[in-house]
Amino acid sequence: MTSRDGYQWTDASGLIRGVPSIGVIEPASNINDNNQLYDVIVVGGGYCGLTATRDLALSGLRVCLLEGRDRIGGRSWSTNIGGYPFEMGGTWVSWGQPHVWREISRYDMRDQLECSYDFSQGVNHFSLGSEEGRRTMSHEKADRLITGATLKFVNVDGQHGKQIMPQPHHEFLNPAVRKYDKLSVADRIEQIKDDLSPDELTALQAFVLLSSCAKPEESSFYEFLHWWALCNHDYAYCIEYLIKYKFRGGQSSFAIKFFEEALSTNRLSYAFNSPVAKISDCDSYVELSTRSGQKYKAFRIVSTIPLNVLNDISFDPLLALGKQDAARVGHVNMCAKVHAECRNPELRSWAGVRYPDNKLIYAIADGTTPAGNTHIVAFGANHNPLKPEQDIEQTKRAVTGLVPAHIERLVFHNWVDDEFAKGAWFYPAPGLVTERLDDLRRSQGNILFANSDWAVGWRSFIDGAIEEGARAAKGILDDLRKNLVQPKSSRL
């Protein structure tokens, strides 16, 4: 089955819009009665929505899942081309991410993980590029370089961030940490620039901006400290948790498990290709209208709409001012993620950065395709934006500007122009998290808002989406019990 999302390119085919994915759901809807009153409507079929849908259906509620796309997964989905999965969005998982690991264990998929990189074969080097030129070094030397620079960057307390943020899942425990949300990445680099060598500066900028994929002055220093604390205040754990293990069959092989388990309860109704236009809270129930004019009703709604899209939906009553303001500001990650299948098997052990003069700033060899080619995955930031489908030759130059490769195929999804995302994974500007996180997490009437964008733990990650989906399901169940609302399909 082919999704209308995503692009692929080869010399022979040219640019093709739409790629195959097991996350595409057919039939697109199983709803026969459009007048049904549901216990809960879940808006959005990403990991947050899938988790909430599954947990609520398993608890005996009649659930309706509405999704604007033709597939599940949201910002984390995969395509299989030529027998090889390319990850279009969120990719890597780890046992250091507790909610993800619980679900991997639940679905008995521990043996489905594989290591992205393999430095045991091929050129086995790291490329460091800047406006001054490009040179190579060993991965060990690169690790020492990035580690040293990052430790200087995070060392605001003499303990490399451990004192000011000892518990990243309870980040406000120490009020002293809040002041760092007034700083941007650019502000913090300015504070330490005299202690950085030119190589350290280049490597640090590329590594830190891989987190935000935004301009340094737009990127929150506080949020990087949060990522750093989640990774045990250690660069080696950053690599271990953030970019090492992925599913052999792709993210969609994981997401489909959630959907299938919910469907097996016979309490799940769903409709894909159903973008939401309006949500009206009518006190005793909530009415939702899609762009096509179809209406759905339920006692409660779980909205998993991402931050950058939240203000595109009409709410009645209006969203609380804190939510409106946060959505107006939005998050800053406008990442371009590009996969390149390259006719260079020796590049299997390659990785590198180039900043600031290239449209892709970080890349790593991520696998070997069945054809024996190397799969390179590369990331760009909005300091030098790239919209891959608009100029394939420019995109190819951005790849080869990082890595000297013979490109056979390009695969990508333009998240910036995706109407249901308007950006990649969440990364805030200074001030957004400490000023608005509580507003975003707060329910409003019969509507509960859940999304990885405002998770307290692995915010912006698959783990954060699952955390939020579980919170939403429990919140709905607690709310129905408290208000003595009798669900249609069971008694609580």
Can you tell me the distance from the alpha carbon of 319 to that of 314, in angstroms, rounded to the nearest whole number?
9
Can you tell me the distance from the alpha carbon of 102 to that of 358, in angstroms, rounded to the nearest whole number?
39
**Can you give the pTM of this predicted structure?**
0.96
Is 379 marked as binding a ligand?
Answer: yes
Neighbours of 163 (CB within 10 A): 14
Domain with CATH 3.90.660.10 in the chain: 123-243+339-411
Let me know: does 40 contact 56? Beta carbons within 8 Å. Answer: yes
Q: Which two tokens stand for residue 136?
A: 């190579």
DSSP H or E stretch at residue 123: none
Residues whose CB is less than 8 angstroms from the CB of residue 468 and which lie 6 or more positions away in sequence, other chains included = 48, 51, 304, 450, 451, 452, 454, 455
Domain with CATH 3.50.50.60 in the chain: 2-76+251-331+422-485
Q: Which residues of 11-112 form beta strands (DSSP E)? A: 14-20, 37-43, 63-66, 78-81, 84-87
Q: Does domain 2-76+251-331+422-485 have CATH number 3.40.50.150?
A: no
DSSP H or E stretch at residue 5: strand 2-10
Can you tell me the distance from the alpha carbon of 455 to that of 444, in angstroms, rounded to the nearest whole number?
17
Structural fold of domain 123-243+339-411:
Polyamine Oxidase; Chain A, domain 2 (3.90.660)
Note down pLDDT in tens along the chain; length 492 residues. Answer: 999 999 999 999 999 999 999 999 999 999 998 889 999 999 999 999 999 999 999 999 999 999 999 999 999 999 999 999 999 999 999 999 999 999 999 999 999 999 998 898 889 899 998 888 889 999 999 999 999 999 999 999 999 999 999 999 886 557 888 899 999 999 999 999 999 999 999 999 999 999 999 999 999 999 999 999 999 999 999 999 999 999 999 999 999 999 999 999 999 999 999 999 999 999 999 999 999 999 999 999 999 999 999 999 999 999 999 999 999 999 999 999 999 999 999 999 999 999 999 999 999 999 999 999 999 999 999 888 999 999 999 999 999 999 999 999 999 999 999 999 999 999 999 999 999 999 999 999 999 999 999 999 999 999 999 999 999 999 999 998 887 655 555 433
Confidence at residue 133, expressed as pLDDT on a 0 to 100 scale: 85
Nearest to 5 by CA among 83, 69, 89, 73: 69
Let me know: does 48 contact 469? Beta carbons within 8 Å. Answer: yes
Let me know: does 63 contact 56? Beta carbons within 8 Å. Answer: yes
- Cis before 27 (ω within 30): yes
Is 412 marked as binding a ligand?
Answer: no
Can you tell me the distance from the alpha carbon of 306 to that of 326, in angstroms, rounded to the nearest whole number?
11
Q: Are strands 295-303 and 37-43 parallel, antiparallel or unpaired?
A: parallel
Can you tell me the distance from the alpha carbon of 85 to that of 252, in angstroms, rounded to the nearest whole number?
9
DSSP character at residue 193: G
**Sign of the Cα pseudo-torsion (18, 20, 21, 25, in order):** positive
Residue 425: helix, strand or coil by DSSP? coil
Residue 349 CA from chain centroid, whole number:
25
**Phi (first) and psi of residue 159, to 5 degrees:** -130, 25
